[in-house]
Structure 1
């Protein structure tokens, strides 16, 4: 195995809880809500699917359906799709919807899985190239830098920078090209069987992990070391 490609959200990093997300934005705006109201609003945002990296919408509004389908193809579509979902929930100030979107792009909103650094380090020690291939609408590189993981990554291939999204094989091909490796010598690691499974069309091997809270998946990435041994 010459290279490993990793998905971002739900694979190497996990987004904070919806309640933590909302609470942080309210604190920043110096807006206080009674606990029952805050809890209710957080649950409503979760059901709406408003937190990128969190749960999908329980019911997708018809007017957002097409935008949702292609949301990862540009920064503008990504923001519009998620703030559109957020606005299904009434909040004390309409500006909070944009603030919530901005919050999710900050390093504080993300936690690396407990074994992420160990696995990335182990791959680097073996001389295996590492790429991050993500369906996303913003630059995640600062997240990796802030958490000390950027040093291990040789290439980032982000959907919004290419105008295409997984499972389109062209995104995985771009990553293999950036790493100068043959797809047949490459392993794709992700949590989404449809999106990340698209790498198989190029001849990549694919390994799936469970999209769980970080504390509930302490060693889900470690099998990657065995698969590349």
Structure 2
């Protein structure tokens, strides 16, 4: 393999829990909820799918269906989709819906998987180019920089910057072109079989990892090193 493409959320990084996310937004607004109410509100937000990078909504309200399907094509659509979902849940302040959205973009809201630095560093040591291909509505580069992983990434191909999203093969083709790598010598690593599996249509090899909390997946990326040999 000449290059490896990685998904972001659920592959290299995992977003904080809904409970921690809500606590942080409340604290930033100078608000608090009693323990049981906070836990119940966090569960409701998670069920609504309001945390980007968290669980998908159990049900998308009809009025949000269109924006949900196109959410990764622009920052405006992404914010509208997720704040729309969070507004399905009553919160103790009207500004909290935007505060929650802003919080999820903070580097501190994300943790790299335990073996991410090890695997990315090993790929760099073997001269293998690395790209990040993500369906997302905001610039994730600061997350990589804050956690010291930006130095291992040669290119970022983000859906909102191109107006197309995975599984569209054009997004993977853009990444391969940026790395100067033939698709047949490129491996795509992700957690979404539909979205990340779209790379196969271009001729890339594909490897899937499980979207688990970081404590439950200490070495899920290490098989990548065997696949590129």
Using the size of structure 1 for normalisation, the TM-score is 0.99
1:214 aligns with 2:221: no
1:105 aligns with 2:135: no
Q: Distance in 1 between matches of 2:189 and 2:105?
A: 22
Q: CA deviation at 1:117?
A: 0.2
Look up the SS of the partner of 1:108 in the other structure. helix
Q: Which runs of 4+ in 1 moved over 6 A?
A: none
What does the per-residue CA deviation read over 1:87-138, in whole Å, with 9 as the maximum and x for residues that have no partner? 0000000100000000000011000000000000000000000000000000
Q: CA deviation at 1:30?
A: 1.0
Q: CA deviation at 1:32?
A: 1.5
Matches within 5 A, 1:69-108: 69-108=69-108
User: Which stretch shows the higher mean deviation, 99-108 or 62-71?
Assistant: 62-71
For 2:145, the equivalent position in structure 1 comes to 145
Look up the SS of the partner of 2:10 in the other structure. coil
For 1:189, the equivalent position in structure 2 comes to 189
Unaligned runs of 5+ in 2: none
Unaligned runs of 5+ in 1: none
Q: Distance in 2 between matches of 1:12 and 1:108?
A: 15
CA RMSD of aligned residues (A): 0.4
Q: Distance in 1 between matches of 2:99 and 2:203?
A: 41
For 1:18, the equivalent position in structure 2 comes to 18
Q: CA deviation at 1:188?
A: 0.1
Paired positions, count: 229
Look up the SS of the partner of 2:220 in the other structure. coil
Q: CA deviation at 1:6?
A: 0.1
Look up the SS of the partner of 2:132 in the other structure. strand
Q: CA deviation at 1:169?
A: 0.4
